[in-house]
Amino acid sequence: MATMVGTHGDIRSVLHDLVELDLDAVEAYRTAIDKLEDTESKSALTGFMGDHERHVTEVGEALRKLGGEPPSGPDFKRVLTQGKVVLGGIAGDKGILKAMKSNEDDTNAAYERASSRTDVTPDLQALLRRNLDDERRHRAWIESRLSFIAQSDKPPTVEKHV
């Protein structure tokens, strides 16, 4: 599901949508961590979930400073983001990580759009860019782990000696 967060409305509605997206991400991470078998992936995703929890707090505070009220829980998209993870679980850790990469694609896109807005203060722009850096790091790690898993899934090559 491609997100449209960051493309419409005033900055308060964008921040509200970012908080919702991060709340949805937290729920998806909880589901993924619960279903993963690989301890290294569990550990990394636990850290990423903490980043999303921090984003909820920091973006929520920024929204309050602008007179808005952040959402108190995830929205209906949670069903979709968690659903990707649950369905991905059928394919094991690889499927779960693919689902999480898809979710991270959405958060990356949202923070890229939000951080490129011109109607924000320098402090808010810095916050949005820090969060974007987190999102990029999450996606890069997941991509790297998926590549590692793909290499591990390949049968060993047999060298021919002539």
CA of residue 61 relative to chain centroid, distance: 20
Look up residue 8 and give its DSSP letter. S
Say what the pTM is.
0.83
Angle between helices 122-153 and 92-115 (to 10 degrees): 160
CA dihedral 21, 26, 32, 37 (to 10 degrees): 150
pLDDT in tens, 108-142: 999 999 999 999 999 999 999 999 999 999 999 99
- Domains recognised in the chain with CATH numbers: 11-151 (1.20.1260.10)
